[in-house]
Amino acid sequence: MASFALPVWLALQEELLGPGGAAPNSFDDFDDDALFQMFHLTRPCIAFITDAVCIRMKTVTVDPPALSVDAAVMVALNYYAHGISSADVLQRLGSSQADFPGIICTVSAVIAGMADQFISFPLLRDARTNVANSIKRVCGIPNVLGVLAPAHFKIRASPYEKETFRSFVNSLGYTSVVSQFICDSDGNILSVEKCCVGSTFEQELWDSSFKGREMEEELHGPYCVIGGNGYRLTNHVLTPVSEPANYHENRFNEAHAKIHNVMRTTLGSMKRRFRCLMQLGFAKECSLDKKANVIKACSVLHNIAKKFSVAPPPVAGKVEPLHPGKQPSGPVTVNREAFEARRELIYRHFSIYCKVKAPLDEDA
């Protein structure tokens, strides 16, 4: 679990490195400023990541990289930070540009495989209570386990393959792949699933995801996640009121928007630190696994960077908004039980007249 990652690493570090301490590695030639410029991470954070990859590679079967593990991690971190492999890294390692895609693919698969250790949804009662209490302190909405949103990542798709190209075009008109993210009130990623073509509805992502099925089957108890307008209101996905009719519903929508905005900040932070996510290269429907590994690897590294309190690079230009969501074209059936539960929540927590009941509105 992410909350225990640092102590676990410190306990394993001596066993991994031996009594002599840290061995020399490829990062030693950079001073701290150059290190952050090249990798958008600090030295202790990079040392942690390198050692974690070393440990992981001893327990899984992967094609060995053409370079040492620390050099392979350098190649991957440089690519994540800038979306390209810099000439400086190439020169330092004395390697060929042609070797880098395979190295990045291998390291991404290894780091993505560490997701169970560093990306953890609250499973125990105390963990759920802590997450829900933190969210309530931010926005006043109780019993929420996280903020749910689709995350779109731009890709290039060949317009000559018209059918394939069309499937990648999202509702904003550009080609992308989309993954499902859940984060907590501090911007820690609690879940990342799927890697689908950009035209995929977020409701479809939720319905087919492990976390969506677990939540809707109440495996996580009577909790919900905060979702935007692209999701259906259910007992476990709390959406805003589409047409607020009174002061109380407006207050609820403001609280909903406040906590939902945490996801925008989180994804913006990720994309500033890992600029490869701004453009993931060419993709076909049959090659989404490699994109999924890069997305998940960057999610793991995001949580590790937060553990080490490493700030992302500063904002340059306009912050990318959350994707507005793809609305279904046909009528949507209202979940009456969920609608009533949301109405009760609004009047219990966002009304100065907590005991006053308003007539049941037909608007969901």
C-alpha 232/C-alpha 219 separation (Å) is 19
**Is 52 within 8 Å of 64 (Cβ atoms)?**
no
C-alpha 46/C-alpha 62 separation (Å) is 21
Say which residues have a Cβ less than 8 Å from residue 264's Cβ, sequence separation at least 6: 319, 320, 321, 322
Question: Which of 223, 186, 221 is CA-nearest to residue 3?
Answer: 186
Go through 152-161 and write b for each residue having 16 or more CB atoms within 10 A of its CB, e for each that does not: bbbbebeeee
DSSP labels for 171-217?
Answer: TTSSBEEEEEEEE-TT--EEEEEEEEETT--HHHHHHHSHHHHHHHT
Say which residues have a Cβ less than 8 Å from residue 6's Cβ, sequence separation at least 6: 48, 307, 308
C-alpha 364/C-alpha 360 separation (Å) is 10
**Is 312 within 8 Å of 273 (Cβ atoms)?**
yes
In the prediction, which pLDDT does 17 show?
45
Provide the 8-state DSSP code for 101. Answer: H
The structural domains of the chain, with segments of one domain joined by +, span 27-113, 121-285+313-350
The encoded tokens of residue 30 equal 């950079």
C-alpha 195/C-alpha 224 separation (Å) is 23
Which H or E run contains 250?
helix 247-273
Which H or E run contains 264?
helix 247-273
In the prediction, which pLDDT does 316 show?
67
C-alpha 271/C-alpha 312 separation (Å) is 9
In the prediction, which pLDDT does 109 show?
94
Say which residues have a Cβ less than 8 Å from residue 156's Cβ, sequence separation at least 6: 175, 279, 281, 282, 283
In the prediction, which pLDDT does 48 show?
95
In the prediction, which pLDDT does 31 show?
92
C-alpha 263/C-alpha 266 separation (Å) is 5
C-alpha 21/C-alpha 233 separation (Å) is 54
Say which residues have a Cβ less than 8 Å from residue 42's Cβ, sequence separation at least 6: 32, 35, 36, 308, 310
CA 174 to chain CA centroid, Å, is 20
**Is 320 within 8 Å of 268 (Cβ atoms)?**
yes
Mean pLDDT in runs of 10 for the chain (364 residues)? 48 48 74 94 95 88 76 94 87 74 92 95 94 96 97 88 85 93 97 94 95 94 94 95 92 96 95 95 80 97 96 76 67 86 94 52 44
